[in-house]
Structure 1
Amino acid sequence: MGAVKTKRMPRAVREQQMLDAAVRTFGRRGYMAASMDEIAELAGVSKPLVYLYLNSKEDLFSACIRREAAALTEAVRAAVRADAPADRQLWEGLRAFFTHTARYPDGWAVLHLQARTHGEPFASEVAAMRAEIVAFVTQLIAVTARDAHGDPDLPEHDVAGLAEALVGAAESLAAWANTTPGVTARQAAATLMNFAWAGLGNLMEGRAWSPSGEQPVAQKG
């Protein structure tokens, strides 16, 4: 009696299986230490099949970066309702960010640690993702200013700087939360929300901080 033939797995499904294995391996072992043999074994396929589908280790790593970056940005965008109050929009965006990075720590390690430290084209892939998130946060802050004042006294470069600072803080806090036992995604989001919203509230009310006896650092224009 002949061997029973199994149904052939669709290429797209098989490829995602390989990417899952690659993200886990790159995230935990690092790009340089990860081997195609290890990735193939974890995916349950042959090494030649990995090369057939994804060409090279470099291409495989780039594919991992693109997939994880797209998933993260989509998670943040999907969580924010445009009809919600400004503070709720920021909160939902932060909570989605920290929930996603906590749920997929290997993917976050690939984006935050591995891709940035191994040169081009990997760093450019992550930079593009970060620019998209910064632009999204910039818009959220602009909405906050508009909701607080019809004609907000908040210069464009200050809005851009606040967005950069907020995204940078979120990135660092996510890395810390993922390696600190007992810190939940919600707690991390609340920590940054409290820190950011108090400062934004002061700015919206025209109470910019300044060194004692000096003019406020944030100026018009």
Structure 2
Amino acid sequence: MGAVKTKRMPRAVREQQMLDAAVQTFGQRGYMAASMDEIAELAGVSKPLVYLYLNSKEDLFTACIRREGQALTEAVRAGVDTASPADRQLWDGLRAFFSHTARHPDGWSVLHLQARTHGEPFAAEVAAMRAELVAFVTELIAVAAREAHRDPDLADREVAGLAEALVGAAESLAAWSNATPGITAKQAAATLMNFAWAGLGNLMEGRPWSPPAEIEGR
């Protein structure tokens, strides 16, 4: 292997180049199998330069998690016009989520698969990103449901549970759609929209589902 030649460029640009290479390597090979040598080679820099900029493999992986998590949450927020009708807000948010995860499958692998299975510090970073998404979805559902249902006392716990369920379903569906040839981001969003909106739409129309009455003796 020949010596890696590097051009002089701003530190911020070089660092993003390293993170691009690291996300691709971690996403495709996994955290344990990825080596700093191959990340440096893919980035077109020397391994000592990677260590100089990003300290260690653990710090590099953490930087990847933070960058990819921030990019995902920003994409979802930017995709939603909170002045739109409730169903349009949900649709646009789902489209933004699935479009981003489809365009960045290695980044989604880092967040959804790698970070969650390699120790508490990494898992905590992903949990913080997920909590931000859940909070955003909770806010959307709460405002829309309370306005449509005309019920200012709609339980916060119920709304939070709906948001958790929706984000969890989106995460699982994104992993499935990225691994299934021929499934587009639009199709994935439509699948979850059809699944979720039947329930959310009824809730917003004041027709929540209720469990059947308990049979005596059971």
- Structure 1-normalised TM-score? 0.91
For the residues of structure 2 that align with 1:23 and 1:187, how far apart are their CA atoms? 26
Query: CA shift at 1:212, angstroms?
Result: 3.8
In structure 2, how many angstroms separate the alpha carbons of the residues matched to 1:178 and 1:147?
A: 35
Within 5 A, what are the aligned runs for 1:1-221?
8-152=8-152, 154-214=154-214
Give, in whole Å, the separation in 2 of the partners of 1:146 and 1:63.
39
C-alpha contact 2:146 2:154 (8 A) present in aligned 1: no
Aligned residues: 210
Amino acid at match of 2:149: H
Please identify, of 85-94 and 32-41, the stretch whose mean Cα deviation from structure 2 is larger.
Answer: 85-94
Partners of 2:120 and 2:195 in 1: how far apart?
34
CA contact (8 A) 1:152 1:204 kept: no
Superposed CA RMSD in Å reads 1.6
Deviations 1:48-73 (A, max 9, x none): 00000000000000000000000000
Shift of 1:87: 1.0
Equivalents in 2 of 1:136, 1:47: separation in Å?
39
Instruction: Look up the equivalent residue of 2:157 and give its one-letter code.
Output: H
Match of 2:3 in 1: none
Query: Conserved in 2, the CA contact under 8 Å of 1:145 and 1:152?
Result: no
Deviations 1:126-147 (A, max 9, x none): 0000000000000010122133
Distance (whole Å) between structure 2 residues aligned to residue 143 and residue 190 of structure 1: 22
Q: Is the Cα–Cα contact under 8 Å of residues 23 and 106 in structure 1 kept in the other structure? A: yes
TM-score (ref. length: structure 2): 0.92
SS in 2 for 1:138: helix
Unaligned runs of 5+ in 1: 1-5, 216-221
Percent identity for Structure 1 against Structure 2: 85
Matched with 1:218 is none
- Contact kept? 2:146, 2:204, Cα under 8 Å: no
Mapped partners of 2:67, 2:144: distance in 1 = 31
Q: What's the secondary structure of 2:120's corresponding residue?
A: coil
2:37 & 2:7 partners in 1: Cα distance?
25
User: How far did residue 214 of structure 1 move?
Assistant: 4.0
Shift of 1:183: 0.5
Q: Could you tell me how far 1:86 is from its partner in structure 2?
A: 1.2
Q: Which amino acid aligns with 1:174?
A: A
In 2: Cα distance, 1:113 partner to 1:31 partner: 10
